[in-house]
Amino acid sequence: GAVVSQHPSWVICKSGTSVKIECRSLDFQATTMFWYRQFPKQSLMLMATSNEGSKATYEQGVEKDKFLINHASLTLSTLTVTSAHPEDSSFYICSARDRTTMILDEQFFGPGTRLTVL
């Protein structure tokens, strides 16, 4: 149980294009999902908290208009990197909290999406 999937696993795109990354909780409902970015040999940096049915909460320094987050259902959150540039190349990872065990604060991570912007 508690499986989170991400799609795509990797993507290569040209500078200036937009890329959408999906995060799904496969066997549980997630009222809250989190989006992280990780550069090589660095820690996971939280970008935003995605809540089902409401606007995402972005961390300081993260551009809302560049990283669009939509949490349309209890099992799906999407991150769209708009007008991507080479500096946006990174490993993007989502995680989700099971609404039935939220008290434990446990997060289940997706496998990650490697974005390369040429």
Partner 1 sequence: QQPVQSPQAVILREGEDAVINCSSSKALYSVHWYRQKHGEAPVFLMILLKGGEQKGHEKISASFNEKKQQSSLYLTASQLSYSGTYFCGIPGSNTGKLIFGQGTTLQVKP
Does residue 65 touch partner 1 according to CB under 8 A? no
Which of 82, 91 has the CB closer to partner 1? 91
Which of 7, 13, 22, 57 touches partner 1 by CB under 8 A? 57
**Integer Cα distance of 111 and 105 in angstroms:** 19
Query: Residue 32: CB partners within 8 Å, gap ≥ 6?
Result: 49, 50, 51, 52, 96, 97, 99, 102
Does residue 67 touch partner 1 according to CB under 8 A? no
DSSP H helices, the chain, are none
Does residue 60 touch partner 1 according to CB under 8 A? no
Q: Which residues bind partner 1 (CB under 8 A)?
A: 32, 34, 42-46, 49, 57, 93, 97, 102, 104-112, 114
